[in-house]
Each structure stands twice: as C-alpha cells, then as structure tokens.
Structure 1
Amino acid sequence: MSTENLYNQEGIAKIREIIDKIDIGMLGSYPANSAFLHAVPMSRQEVDDAGNIWYLFSSDSESFFHIRENSQVSLLYSDPSSYTFLSINGSAEISSDRQRIEKYWNKMMEGWFDAGIDDPRIRVLKVAPEEAQYWDTKSNKLVTLWKAAVSAVTGVEMDKGRSGEITI
C-alpha cells in the first residue's frame, strides 16, 4: 500500500469524494462518564468548500448531550465492497441555524422529526475536521484481490492501494 498524504483543497476533495460515495458513517461522541465512544449512524447533508461536514440531528439524542459537554467527535466511514475507509477526528458545533435546516431538509428527515421542518428538536451539527486518514484502492476490488493473491504467492509486494493523512 502506498502512502499519499493530501493537503488543503486536495484533502477536502478526498473527504468529499469518500463521504459522498459512502453517505452514512458513524458519528462518535464522547460521554463524560464513560471510557468508551458512543457511535451512531448518520447521513451527511454536505461537505462544504472548507471541508466541514454538516448533519441534521435531534436535541433529544444522546449525541447532542455528549457534544454539548465535549465538542470532540470522530467520524468513521467504511465501504468494504470497494476497500474505501475514512477516519476523521474533529470538533463539533451545534446550532439551530434556520437557513441550514431549510437547506438540508428532505423527505428522509420527515421520518426522524414528526412535526416536520418546524420541529423544535431539529439541530444542525457542523464537524470541522482536525485530523483524518483514508484508505482506498487505485483499482477495482477484483484487481486489488488479484494483486494481494500475487503478492502472497510470489512474495513480491504489489501496490494494492493507498492510504494517507489528510490535512486541511
């Protein structure tokens, strides 16, 4: 596996590419009285031009209460079918930004908020990445598996993919 660290706009583009492809990732928050991460699946609304990841979520959720006490969060995206993975650690901000709620509102949200777009529990979550790592392949899964098999049989290391740190 080759190392390809990415910076600034190239890093933001990689984050956006992976998150847009996978969509649902795990949002990890840190409960005050636990040594363990609390993780829930979340569908992103947007990765903006600065690399921030935006979500809508509920003020009734455990994540909401954890983030109010500790703004550090982790995001984990995984697509084993294509060997694509992304890990992000960053800081979160919670708001009730009406413009963003209207921008991100869609039919899927109706399943989470019974009172619709005017539900007083709707909150906007912005995650600003502070560090990120990715792993993906340079080719499709079949070619990657073939390269792994050839490496195992011959002992010659073949480039099966790439990984790296992302710095924004």
Structure 2
Amino acid sequence: MGKSISPTENLAGNTAIEKIKTIAENAGTCFFSTNLKTNTNSRPMALQEVDDNGNLWFLSDVTSEKNKDILQDPDVELYFMNNSKYEYVFIKGKASVSQDKVLIDKYWSNFANAWFDGKDDPNVSVIKVTPNDGYYYETKENKLVAMSKMLFAAATGSKIEDGGVEGSLEL
C-alpha cells in the first residue's frame, strides 16, 4: 500500500507562536492533559486566547481536578484538532492557576456562564499554559485536494506528498 508523505518545516520563536495561535484558535477546544507522570487525566477545554507571547489561556473552576493536578505538577499537554481543515497541534508546557480579577475580566465570555454564577463567582480561575515545545500538522491545500492525494496514494501504492506540512515547534 502507498504511503503519503509530508514535507517537514520546523518552526521556532515568533513563527512557532503564530502557528500555535492560528491552529489552536481555529480549533477552539483541546484535550487538556494533566497528571502526566502517574495517571494522565484528559478533558476537553475551551481555549480563550493564545496571546502574543504564545501563552494559552483557559477558564476553570478552582475546585476542579485539573486545577488540583496543576498545583501538584504544572506539566501539561494540549491536543488541538481542527478536523475540518486537517490542522493539528500538540503542545507541551507549564500551567499556572490564577484568580486575578483583571485576567478573569479579560478572558470572561458568556459561554462561561454555563459553569459559573457570573465572573464574580469565587470558584472562577484562569489557567495560563506557557508552551515549551510541540508539534503541528496542517494541509497546505484545501481539504478536498489533500484527501484526493491521500486516496490516490492509497489506491496506486505510490508515495506522493499528501498536501500537508508538519514540524516541531520550539519556544
């Protein structure tokens, strides 16, 4: 059977931050994994923003297991998937929890009202993830062209570029 291949383009610094921002914000949600050393816990989380420094911001309940995990061990992994565009990014980083009212105001959204009694709820916290490194994959062409190339490779047994690009992210 054929094997699809993708060119590698490793990114660093501001270019890596821009790639994370584009893919993560388009995806909007991720699997947020904590407690990596013993018994990994993963749950879906809505991203609030990727700031200009590459930090990823989330709202969370201070009494949640994820917040407790972060206090024990700040190492986290984030998995963003935007299947509609074949864009994926994996981030390893350090998380911190804050109840700073300025940050809560900045990242508050009406969507958060489903989990909290408004932004003054005493359980509201903000999680900041500072990325260390990661990996991304995205299509360079539209989804239909990329899928056609992959199907052609599978049907003919040929090795052709699958219409994507991938690489490491160093921050």
Where on the TM-score scale, by shorter chain, does this alignment land: which range? Answer: over 0.9
Q: CA RMSD in A?
A: 1.4
Aligned pair 1:5/2:7, yes or no? no
Q: Secondary structure at 2:84's aligned position in 1? A: coil
Q: Tell which deviates more after alignment, 157-166 or 3-12.
A: 157-166
Which amino acid is the alignment partner of residue 77 of structure 1? Answer: F
Q: Is the 8 A contact 1:150 1:156 kept in 2?
A: no
Aligned to 2:19: 14
Aligned to 2:49: 46
Structure with more relative contact order (C-alpha pairs < 8 Å, separation 6 or more)? 2
Aligned to 1:165: 168
- Tell me the alpha carbon deviations over residues 105-151 of structure 1, each in whole angstroms, 9 at most, x when there is no partner: 1211111112x111111111100001110011111111011111232
The alpha carbon displacement at 1:70 in A equals 0.3
Aligned to 2:98: 95
TM-score (normalizing by structure 2): 0.91
Which amino acid is the alignment partner of residue 60 of structure 2? Answer: F
- Tell me the alpha carbon deviations over residues 52-78 of structure 1, each in whole angstroms, 9 at most, x when there is no partner: 001110011110110100000010011
For residues 16-165 of structure 1, the aligned pairs below 5 Å read: 16-30=21-35, 35-114=38-117, 116-152=118-154, 153=156, 155-165=158-168
Alpha-carbon distance between aligned partners in 2 of 1:45 and 1:97, rounded to the nearest angstrom: 15
Equivalent pairs counted in the alignment come to: 165
Alpha-carbon distance between aligned partners in 2 of 1:137 and 1:165, rounded to the nearest angstrom: 15
Q: Is the 8 A contact 1:137 1:160 kept in 2?
A: yes
Unmatched 5+ residue regions in structure 2? 1-5
Q: Is the 8 A contact 1:101 1:117 kept in 2?
A: yes
Q: Is the 8 A contact 2:79 2:89 kept in 1?
A: yes
Unmatched 5+ residue regions in structure 1? none
Q: Tell which deviates more after alignment, 141-150 or 15-24.
A: 141-150
Q: Secondary structure at 1:81's aligned position in 2? A: helix
The alpha carbon displacement at 1:97 in A equals 1.1
Q: Is the 8 A contact 1:89 1:132 kept in 2?
A: yes
Q: Is the 8 A contact 1:31 1:66 kept in 2?
A: no
Q: Is the 8 A contact 1:87 1:133 kept in 2?
A: yes
Equivalent pairs: percent with the same residue? 35
The alpha carbon displacement at 1:6 in A equals 0.8
Q: Secondary structure at 1:50's aligned position in 2? A: coil
